[in-house]
């Protein structure tokens, strides 16, 4: 963190507040996040075959992630409601876990960033995978939820492992 970093949602008196973005310029903004669900190899095979009791785990988790991004301001206090222009959720096998890797991207043209929407999309997709497959594997682990990159806004572009990371 830089020396001039401060918590933008905390007032001088310590009270939590929604940040005023009224005077900020609208810019194109994008954020990408990822997360993982580790599971038994048999559970991954069950999901791959589409044989889970609750149905298409990957398809439902993808939709749940998109819905989660759209509802972020209802879930996270002090988040601004945003007019997202695009949300995508990709779910792929991570055989080395074994398990699934979830990547979400959120975009808009606006006055505030979409990092929380991308992170919420990943979180909700991971939770949905757990919910749909828990009958087969209660020991699944959700991990590695993190921001990979963000573009736009006053703070500029950021990428994990890059400058400023």
Active site residue 74: no
Q: How far is CA 129 from CA 33, 72, 158, in A?
A: 17, 19, 29
β partners of residue 143: 36
Given the residues 13, 96, 131, 137, the one annotated as active site: 131
- Write out the catalytic residue numbers: 131
């Amino acid at each position: 963190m830089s020396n001039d970093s401060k918590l933008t949602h905390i007032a001088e008196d310590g009270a939590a507040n929604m940040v005023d973005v009224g005077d900020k310029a609208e810019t194109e903004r994008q954020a990408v996040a990822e997360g993982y669900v580790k599971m038994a190899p048999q559970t991954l095979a069950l999901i791959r075959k589409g044989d889970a009791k609750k149905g298409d785990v990957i398809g439902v988790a993808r939709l749940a992630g998109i819905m989660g991004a759209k509802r972020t301001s209802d879930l996270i206090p002090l988040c601004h409601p945003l007019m997202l222009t695009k949300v995508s959720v990709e779910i792929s096998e991570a055989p080395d876990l074994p398990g699934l890797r979830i990547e979400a991207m959120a975009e808009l043209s606006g006055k505030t960033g979409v990092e929380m929407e991308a992170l919420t999309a990943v979180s909700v997709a991971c939770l949905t995978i757990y919910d749909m497959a828990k009958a087969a594997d209660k020991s699944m682990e959700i991990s590695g939820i993190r921001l990979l990159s963000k573009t736009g806004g006053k703070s500029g572009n950021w990428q994990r492992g890059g400058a400023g990371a």
